[in-house]
Amino acid sequence: MFSKYFGHYLLNRELLTREQLMDALEFQKSVHVKFGVIAVDEEYMTPLQVEEVHEKQKQMDKRFGEIAVDLGYLTNEQVEALISNQKQGHLFLAQALVDREYMTIEQFGAALRDYKIENSLSDEQFDAIRNGSIELLVENILGIEDEEKNSKYGQYLSLFAKNMIRFIDDQVYFEIDTLENPQSENWVVRQVIVGEAPLFTAIGANEEAFLHIASIYAEEELTEVDDLAEDAVSEFLNLHNGIYLVNMSNWGTELTMNPQEVVKNATVSGDVFLVSVNTSKGSFQLILSDKPENILIAQ
């Protein structure tokens, strides 16, 4: 998830164009992450040292790690650590950007450092995010200062991210939507969680995004929003909410939930918290509110 999120950070900082990012995200599926990229990412080596090792590699039949150790740039322990880190998602993006010549290793490393500084992340927090800690990433997206939103929606969003990755799309990327106007969507699936911590939950999507979620969850290609498609998106929300209830129960909060409902051409209004959920095949909105009684859905 961090890979996609960091890609959008690069886009917003105008270090990449949208086309370059889309191309790199697609291309990263086929790349092999090279040692030099990881060594710079981990700040074990400078880009210049990596270049030097690459030059030496052209002259001798040795691996990158061996040459770097010979030159005193890496220890054997660091080589071992780099091997085990080779599968981190964002490194595939880094390698794709370098291979496509959209960025140099140095520019990527500088952007990573800027990201860390701008988000006031400690080394430990940053490592955890890079290593796939969705909880920390979601907390970071929500804004560390906003404790209220974190406590209300943080757990729900973290789990939603995990379930999106698990069941729908591993290239998911969240953006907090600051719109306060009522949301109008082709399709809205809603489910209300009731109990001591009530929560209105809904997925709002245009037809294309709706069919994308439905097709993946139903495990068959759905080309029109029929009963099965409506049901598939409903079931995904229901499954996710069910797991959320189990988690909350394990933390001592017992909740139940009402049946889901699908509403066509709906406008949702009230005190809502909106999250744009971007997938590889389009975006939809996750609509949440801790005041379900104030939510209005009009057709």
Partner 1 sequence: MGNNLSVLICDDSILIRKKLRSTLEKCKCKEILEAVNGDVAVELVKVQNPDLIFMDIVMPEKDGIEALKEIMEFNPDAKVVMASSVGTNDRLKEALGYGAYDFIQKPLSFEAIANIIEKVIKEDKVDV
Smallest gap from residue 51 Cβ to partner 1 (A): 49
* Pairwise CA distance, residues 13 & 124, whole Å: 24
Nearer to partner 1, 104 or 249 (CB): 249
Smallest gap from residue 261 Cβ to partner 1 (A): 9
Smallest gap from residue 172 Cβ to partner 1 (A): 18
Distance of CA 275 to the CA centre of its chain: 12
* Pairwise CA distance, residues 17 & 160, whole Å: 28
Smallest gap from residue 147 Cβ to partner 1 (A): 27
Task: Name which of 228, 190, 231, 225 is nearest 210 in CA terms.
Answer: 225
Nearer to partner 1, 72 or 259 (CB): 259
Smallest gap from residue 157 Cβ to partner 1 (A): 18
Amino acid letter for position 230: E
Cβ distance 199 to 156 under 8 Å?
A: yes
Nearer to partner 1, 84 or 223 (CB): 223
Smallest gap from residue 215 Cβ to partner 1 (A): 12
Output 104-109 pairs: Cβ under 8 A, ≥24 positions apart. Answer: 104/47, 105/36, 105/37, 105/40, 105/47, 105/50, 106/40, 106/47, 107/15, 108/37, 108/40, 108/41, 109/40, 109/41, 109/43, 109/47
Nearer to partner 1, 128 or 243 (CB): 243
* Pairwise CA distance, residues 225 & 9, whole Å: 34
Nearer to partner 1, 243 or 263 (CB): 243
* Pairwise CA distance, residues 6 & 115, whole Å: 8
In this structure, what DSSP letter does residue 280 have? T
Contact residues: partner 1, CB under 8 A: 167, 217-218, 227-228, 231-232, 234-235, 238-243, 245-246, 249, 254, 256-259
Nearer to partner 1, 26 or 220 (CB): 220
